[in-house]
Structure 1
Amino acid sequence: MFIYFPLFLIIFFITSHLYNKVQNFPPTLFPTLPIIGHLYILKNTNHFHRTLTQISKWLGPVFHLWFGTHPVLVISSPSTAEECLKQKDTIFANRPLGLTSGKTIYYNYTTLVTSPYNDHWRKLRRISTLEILGANRLSALSYMRTDEVRLLVLRLLRLWDQDDNTPTLNMRSLFMEVTLNTMMRMIVGKRYYEDCIVSEEAEMFQEMITQTPKLSSYTLISDFIPMLRIFGYEKKIRKNMIELQNNRDKFMQNLIEQQKKATKNDDNSLSQEKKMKTMIEVLLTLQESEPEYYKDEIIKGLMLDLIIAGSDTSAGTMEIALSFLLNHPEVMKKAHSELVNCVGEDRLVNESDLAKLPYLHSIIKETLRLLPPGPLIARASSKETTIGGYRVPIGCMVLINTWAIQRDPNTWVEPNKFMPERFLKNEGLAPRELGFTFLAFGNGRRTCPGENLAWRMVGLTLATIIQCFEWERVSEKMVDMSEHLRGLTLSMTNPLLAKCQPRSTMMKVLSQIRN
Structure 2
Amino acid sequence: MEKLYYCLALLLSVLLIFKHFFHHRTKLPPSPFALPIIGHLHLIRNSFHQILECLASQYGPILFLKVGIRSILVVSSPSVVEECFTKNDIIFANRPRNMLSDISSYNYSTIAWAPYGHYWRSLRRLTVVEFFSLNSLQKSSNIREEEIHNLLSHLFKFSKSGTQKVQLKYWFSLLTFNIITRLVAGKRCVRDAVAGKDLGKQILEELKGKFVSNMPLNMCDFFPILRWFGYKGLEKSLIMLLQKERDEFLQGLIDEVRRKRTCSANINIVTNRAKTTLIETLLSLQESEPDFFSDTVIKSIISVMFFAGPETSAITLEWAISLLLNNPEVLGKLRAEIDDHVGHGRLLDDSDLVKLPYLRCIINETLRLYPPAPLLLPRCSSEDCTVGGYEIPQGTILLVNAWAMHRDPKLWEEPTKFKPERFEGMEGREGYKFIPFGVGRRACPGARMGIWTVSLALGALAQCFEWEKVVEDKMEMSQGRLTMSKAESLEALCIPRHSAMTLLSQLEDTSFI
TM-score, with length taken from structure 1: 0.90
2:436 to 440, 462, 465: 440
SS in 1 for 2:480: strand
Counterparts in 2 of 1:370-449, with a 5 A limit? 370-377=369-376, 378-426=378-426, 429-430=427-428, 433-449=429-445
- 2:319 is aligned to 320
How far the C-alpha of 1:214 sits from its partner, in A, is 2.7
Answer yes or no: is 1:180 the counterpart of 2:177. yes
Q: Once the two structures are superposed, what CA deviation does each residue of 1:429-481 show, in whole Å capped at 9, x if it has no partner?
A: 24xx4210100111111111001111110010000000000001110121111
Answer yes or no: is 1:247 the counterpart of 2:245. yes
Answer yes or no: is 1:214 the counterpart of 2:216. no
Answer yes or no: is 1:455 the counterpart of 2:451. yes
Counterparts in 2 of 1:156-195, with a 5 A limit? 156-163=155-162, 166-194=163-191
Answer yes or no: is 1:509 the counterpart of 2:503. yes
- 2:491 is aligned to 497
SS in 1 for 2:348: coil
Q: Which runs of 5+ in 1 are unaligned?
A: 1-12
1:225 to 193, 207, 223: 223
1:256 to 254, 261, 264: 254
Q: Judging changes above 3 Å, is the alpha-carbon distance between structure 1 residues 157 and 205 closer, same or farther for their aligned structure 2 residues? A: closer
How far the C-alpha of 1:313 sits from its partner, in A, is 0.6
CA RMSD of aligned residues (A): 2.5
The whole-number CA distance in structure 2 between the counterparts of 1:514 and 1:355 is 27
SS in 1 for 2:25: helix
Q: Once the two structures are superposed, what CA deviation does each residue of 1:356-405 show, in whole Å capped at 9, x if it has no partner?
A: 00110000000001111111121111111000000011111000101001
How far the C-alpha of 1:231 sits from its partner, in A, is 2.2
The one-letter code of the counterpart of 1:501 is: I
- 1:298 is aligned to 297
2:478/2:487 contact within 8 Å kept: yes
Q: Judging changes above 3 Å, is the alpha-carbon distance between structure 1 residues 389 and 262 closer, same or farther for their aligned structure 2 residues? A: same
The whole-number CA distance in structure 2 between the counterparts of 1:307 and 1:62 is 33
The one-letter code of the counterpart of 2:433 is: T
2:211/2:246 contact within 8 Å kept: no
Answer yes or no: is 1:25 the counterpart of 2:28. yes
- 2:37 is aligned to 35
How far the C-alpha of 1:352 sits from its partner, in A, is 0.4
The one-letter code of the counterpart of 1:298 is: V
2:210/2:246 contact within 8 Å kept: no
The whole-number CA distance in structure 2 between the counterparts of 1:203 and 1:359 is 37
- 1:283 is aligned to 282
The whole-number CA distance in structure 1 between the counterparts of 2:455 and 2:304 is 22
The whole-number CA distance in structure 1 between the counterparts of 2:200 and 2:364 is 36
How far the C-alpha of 1:56 sits from its partner, in A, is 0.8
The one-letter code of the counterpart of 1:245 is: Q
How far the C-alpha of 1:268 sits from its partner, in A, is 4.4
- 1:8 is aligned to none
2:174/2:204 contact within 8 Å kept: no
Q: Judging changes above 3 Å, is the alpha-carbon distance between structure 1 residues 54 and 65 closer, same or farther for their aligned structure 2 residues? A: same
The whole-number CA distance in structure 2 between the counterparts of 1:181 and 1:229 is 40
Q: Judging changes above 3 Å, is the alpha-carbon distance between structure 1 residues 262 and 389 closer, same or farther for their aligned structure 2 residues? A: same
The one-letter code of the counterpart of 1:469 is: F
The whole-number CA distance in structure 2 between the counterparts of 1:482 and 1:124 is 37
SS in 2 for 1:265: helix
Counterparts in 2 of 1:28-107, with a 5 A limit? 28-30=31-33, 32-42=34-44, 44=45, 46-97=46-97, 99-107=98-106
After superposing the two structures, state which structure 1 stretch, 20-29 or 500-509, moved more. Answer: 20-29
The one-letter code of the counterpart of 1:22 is: R
Identity of matched residues, %: 40
The one-letter code of the counterpart of 2:457 is: T
2:49/2:403 contact within 8 Å kept: yes
1:212/1:244 contact within 8 Å kept: no
How far the C-alpha of 1:51 sits from its partner, in A, is 0.6
The one-letter code of the counterpart of 1:229 is: R
Q: Which runs of 5+ in 2 are unaligned?
A: 1-15
How far the C-alpha of 1:229 sits from its partner, in A, is 2.1
- 1:116 is aligned to 115
Question: Which 4+ stretches in 1 moved above 3 angstroms?
Answer: 13-21, 197-206, 267-272
How far the C-alpha of 1:323 sits from its partner, in A, is 0.6
1:320/1:367 contact within 8 Å kept: yes
1:208/1:244 contact within 8 Å kept: no
SS in 1 for 2:309: helix
SS in 2 for 1:23: coil
The whole-number CA distance in structure 2 between the counterparts of 1:251 and 1:447 is 27
The whole-number CA distance in structure 1 between the counterparts of 2:369 and 2:201 is 34
2:326/2:475 contact within 8 Å kept: yes
- 2:12 is aligned to none
- 1:468 is aligned to 464
1:481/1:492 contact within 8 Å kept: yes
Answer yes or no: is 1:238 the counterpart of 2:271. no
How far the C-alpha of 1:490 sits from its partner, in A, is 2.2
The whole-number CA distance in structure 2 between the counterparts of 1:211 and 1:371 is 24
1:376/1:402 contact within 8 Å kept: yes
How far the C-alpha of 1:96 sits from its partner, in A, is 1.2
After superposing the two structures, state which structure 1 stretch, 62-71 or 275-284, moved more. Answer: 275-284
SS in 2 for 1:87: coil
